[in-house]
Amino acid sequence: MTERSGQAGDATGGPAPTTPVCYRHPGRETYVRCTRCDRPICPECMRDASVGHQCPECVSEGRRSVRPARTAFGGGAAGRQGYVTKTLIALNVLVMVLSIASDRGGDAAAGGSGFGGLMGGSTPLTNWGAVLGYAPYVAFGEPHGVAAGEWYRLATAMFLHYGLVHLLLNMWALWVLGRNLEAVLGPLRFLALYLIAGLGGNVAVYLFSAPNQPAVGASTAIFGLFAAIFVILRRLGRDTSAIVPILVINLIFTFTVPGISVAGHLGGLVVGALMALVLAYAPRMRRTAFQVAGGTILLVALLGLILVRTATLTG
């Protein structure tokens, strides 16, 4: 037997094959490769894929190329967390605290005339932000109100309440309705629905209530949510029998309980229904553009009504 000497090699006489190493960790040998880019990856770099494993870079690139999940009406999946609903409730509670603090020794929290005295009374903050058509605070004083240029009242009124009972009733309804609608519509569309419905209700108060009768409350927006959830359920082909009795009961309260703004509730109901129709029946191909255009048309229509009423009160 003869002895051979020389460089180590394989059976064919070539150099011995080298063991692959992870492209991110050169000191780690591996025989696993990314199913997408075919680079060697160690166990630390492996990411489970539908077939085999992928490297971190390919996973990140795949995530960027995947379109985010959308609801049936174009909203984002973040609406399932209810962030807008929770923020609106927190804002209303904060404003209630400020309203009570602004009333030194008064009946801001309770002791007013509504619901057997359980409702609170007006405060300096509600006087400042309530929907008021055109009237002085005192006899022969300077006129205040929307017609006097205080247009902000049409927005601020939906975040003010006469007492804790008034606040709690509205916030309970917002919690129940808001989370469901936000999950279906997405945060931005739900917020647009809430604000436009609330504004629509306050514009109705401005149009149809006595100019010297103030009104506050989130119920203008809440009634818009009642109408919206009915429209959304119908659009999805779901049963609406559960929401109809609740809506009817609230309408009965609207017409029978003293001190409730009928115009505000009905205005929010109508405008909320119109905005919900825009959101629910927008064509899929140009959904966002159609929804934005529909919301804008509603806002322009409300602006026109405000200008007509202002001209009537100040003319």
As annotated, the active-site residues are: 219, 265
Q: What is the C-alpha R_g of the chain?
A: 31
CB atoms within 10 A of CB 214: 23
DSSP character string of 37-93: T--B--GGG-EE-SSSEE-HHHHHHHHHHSPPPB-TTS-BGGGGG-HHHHHHHHHHH
Half-sphere exposure of 185 (CA within 13 A, CB side): 34
Written as one string, the DSSP assignment of 55-66 is -HHHHHHHHHHS
